Amino acid sequence: MNTIQPLRDLVLVKVDPVKEKTSSGLFIVEAWKSLPPTGTVIAVGPEVKSVAVGDRIQFERYASIILEDDERLCRETNIFGILNEKI
């Protein structure tokens, strides 16, 4: 796998796999699978101010470029927010 270094305001994201079931064993319906994807930032361009490498984010599905099955490149403006996971 070749990791690229994004330019300008681009963010490289490793996309989380789509879940088929919840942690409690319930099956997820198709409509829920079409929600905006989530993932972990693995590289950022020099103009990116809001996110950093390692942040978990949610971003627009159709405003990103698919590089590999689990990697996408999107603009910082297409990120909805940083996810704060609670245990």
Q: What CATH number belongs to 10-82?
A: 2.30.33.40
DSSP notation for 37-73: PEEEEEEE-TT--S--TT-EEEE-STTEEEEETTEEE
- 6-55: pLDDT as tens digits: 999 999 999 887 766 667 777 766 666 667 788 999 999 999 999 999 99
The reported pLDDT for the residue numbered 81 is: 92
Please choose, from the candidates 6, 5, 4, 62, the residue with its C-alpha nearest in 3D space to the C-alpha of residue 37.
62
73 in Cβ contact with 12 (< 8 Å): yes
pTM, 2 dp: 0.79
Cα–Cα distance, 86 to 43 (Å, whole number):
24
Cα–Cα distance, 31 to 86 (Å, whole number):
25
Can you give the residue ranges of every domain in the chain? Answer: 10-82
